[in-house]
């Protein structure tokens, strides 16, 4: 894979994946919200690996800006072998319960914005007839819990969208990869108490790289989350609703 687009490239996990692609000689197109952070990352990749790195900024809440970003990526790279969508935010669940505006913002960042990018990417790759699209969803989308069900609903919707997209694009030689991390130590979880279930951004970034190059379908990262979520999914509803999760 030589020409890679990373949306939400300043995410700690995506940055780790970008580093590996750059070391492997890929040309990168990185898009992110914060121009300063993005340029720092691009310069670092250029200096460390000699990679060619193009950049663009976008805000997830400006859905109309997404298609122009993708057109800029295609113009800069000439072609796209694979794309990773990584941006997201963890909203304050309590705030989302008080105000549907907060819920709306989270749904825009975590669901609508990825779908705006995916619509362009799906049509591009359908015509290209090969390649990979990878998106970071979350284990939170596997079952709604009282502590984060607005975020979980956005990620659950995204996971379902990706299932359908995988089914559609499999007929055109294109793989669609859903990454479902558990707890990862990144700026997003800076306020959470860390425990043994936390993985590093570096290890998950490596796993994302492997999944993209292999064109895997659904990847729990780390893999033990597949077992944890299998158990959580099988707790009967009459028990589950009494738990404080």
Q: Is 222 in the site for ligand NAP (CB under 6 A)?
A: no
Q: Count the site residues for ligand NAP by CB under 6 A.
A: 27
Residue 170, token pair as written in the block: 């499999």
Stretch of 46-54, 117-125, 185-193, 229-237 contacting ligand NAP, by CB under 6 A:
185-193
Give the chain's radius of gyration (CA, Å): 18
Q: x/- site string to ligand NAP, residues 18 to 37, per CB under 6 A?
A: --------------xxx--x
- Of these, 161, 186, 211, 222, which contacts ligand NAP (CB under 6 A)? 186
What's phi and psi for 139, nearest 5 deg? -65, -20
151 noted as active-site residue: yes
Name which of residues 81 to 140 contact ligand NAP (CB under 6 A).
86-89, 109, 136, 138
Whichever of 39 and 59 has its CB closer to ligand NAP, that residue is 59
Cα separation, 18 vs 171, whole angstroms: 28
Q: Are 11 and 186 spatial neighbours (Cβ–Cβ below 8 Å)?
A: yes
Residues 6+ apart with CB under 8 A from 236: none
- Of these, 51, 60, 77, 96, which contacts ligand NAP (CB under 6 A)? 60
- State the sign of the Cα–Cα–Cα–Cα dihedral 110, 71, 11, 137: positive
- Helix (H) or strand (E) run with residue 6 in it: strand 3-7
What is the nearest approach in angstroms of ligand NAP to the Cβ of residue 130?
Answer: 25
Distances, alpha carbon 59 to alpha carbons 8, 79, 141, in Å: 9, 24, 23
- The crossing angle, in degrees rounded to 10, of helices 12-23 and 201-214 is 60
- Of these, 5, 10, 122, 177, which contacts ligand NAP (CB under 6 A)? 10
Q: Which residues are part of the catalytic machinery?
A: 151
What residues make contact with ligand NAP under the rule CB under 6 A?
A: 8, 10-13, 32-34, 37, 59-61, 86-89, 109, 136, 138, 181, 183-184, 186-189, 201
């Amino acid at each position: 894979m030589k020409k890679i687009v990373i949306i939400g490239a300043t995410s700690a996990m995506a940055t780790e994946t970008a580093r590996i692609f750059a070391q492997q000689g890929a040309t990168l197109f990185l898009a992110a919200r914060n121009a300063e952070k993005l340029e720092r990352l691009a310069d670092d990749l250029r200096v460390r690996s000699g990679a060619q790195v193009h950049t663009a900024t976008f805000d997830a809440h400006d859905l109309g800006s997404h298609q122009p970003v993708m057109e800029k990526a295609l113009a800069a790279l000439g072609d796209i072998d694979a794309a990773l969508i990584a941006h997201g935010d963890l909203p304050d669940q309590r705030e989302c319960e008080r105000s549907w505006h907060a819920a709306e913002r989270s749904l825009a960042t975590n669901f609508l914005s990825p779908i705006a990018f995916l619509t362009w990417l799906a049509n591009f790759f359908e015509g290209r007839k090969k390649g990979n699209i990878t998106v970071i969803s979350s284990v939170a989308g596997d079952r709604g819990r009282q502590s984060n069900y607005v975020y979980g609903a956005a990620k659950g919707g995204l996971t379902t969208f990706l299932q359908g997209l995988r089914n559609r694009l499999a007929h055109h030689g294109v793989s669609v990869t859903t990454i479902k991390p558990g707890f990862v130590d990144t700026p997003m979880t800076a306020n959470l108490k860390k425990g043994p279930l936390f993985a590093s951004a570096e290890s998950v970034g490596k796993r994302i790289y492997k999944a993209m190059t292999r064109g895997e379908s659904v990847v729990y990262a780390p893999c033990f989350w597949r077992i944890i979520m299998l158990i959580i999914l099988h707790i009967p509803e009459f028990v589950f609703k009494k738990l404080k999760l």
